Amino acid sequence: MATLELADKLRERAGVTYEEAKEALEASGDDLLDAFIYLEKQGKTVSAQGGFYSSDATQPEPEPPDADPKKRKKSDKAEREQKEHKEEREQFNKNMKKLGDNILKIIKMANENFLDAMKNGKTLFSLPVSVVVLLAIFLFWVTVPLFVVSLFFGFRYKFSGAELGRSEVNRVMDSASDFADGVKSSFESDENKE
């Protein structure tokens, strides 16, 4: 005689009614596996209707045929949201990698290009652009005025290196030096008139 506990287990696993579970257990001598096989042969189990059965514990158990369609819709929605979240995360990771690569390129470029300070045609010092940028950021009120004042004392600046050593960039630096020389000359000529 089939016990309630065995019938309940069989009903859950096979997706059948208590009556079908009891009949299968009685026909198989209360052997759970034989009862499940009995139901499969009759086409009453969820796995037989679904087309396959797997004893792999990692796969989710199939829902009984009388499962709530609202639950299935919620499950499908959750799967879609999970997939979208995964895609967003992958896109974010790609963007962050791209940003990191670009930052590394900029740092490399800033370390391979230099700002040269010259007076009377002789190079006095040469600083990597990365150091100049850091000085301009952290010591702005010292660095920028010092740079401007040095132009009036005959200093000239130019960039050297693969990216910034081009003539277009240095033309701007020369025009700043020429402007400072022009202002200095106008002050000197005004002094000479007095």
- Whole-prediction pTM: 0.47
Q: Which helix (H) or strand (E) holds 33?
A: helix 32-42
Nearest Cα neighbor of 185 from 119, 7, 177 is 177
Place of tokens 């009120």: 141
180: CB partners within 8 A, 6+ apart: 148, 151, 152
Q: Which stretches of the chain are assigned E, i.e. beta strand?
A: 114-119, 122-128, 155-160
Count the residues in the chain: 194
Place of tokens 């979208």: 84
Rounded to whole angstroms, the Cα distance separating 175 from 178 reads 5
Indicate the DSSP class of residue 59. S
pLDDT at position 62 is 54
pLDDT at position 67 is 54
CA 44 to chain centre: 49
Q: Which fold has domain 4-50?
A: Helicase, Ruva Protein; domain 3 (1.10.8)
Nearest Cα neighbor of 177 from 149, 136, 143 is 149
Burial of 20 per CB tally in 10 Å (0-12, 13-18, 19+): buried
Q: What is the mean pLDDT of each run of 10 residues along the chain (194 residues)?
A: 78 87 88 89 69 46 56 75 90 94 91 90 90 92 89 87 77 81 77 67
Ordered by start, the domain boundaries in the chain are 4-50, 68-111, 113-193
**In whole angstroms, how large is the CA radius of gyration of the chain?**
41
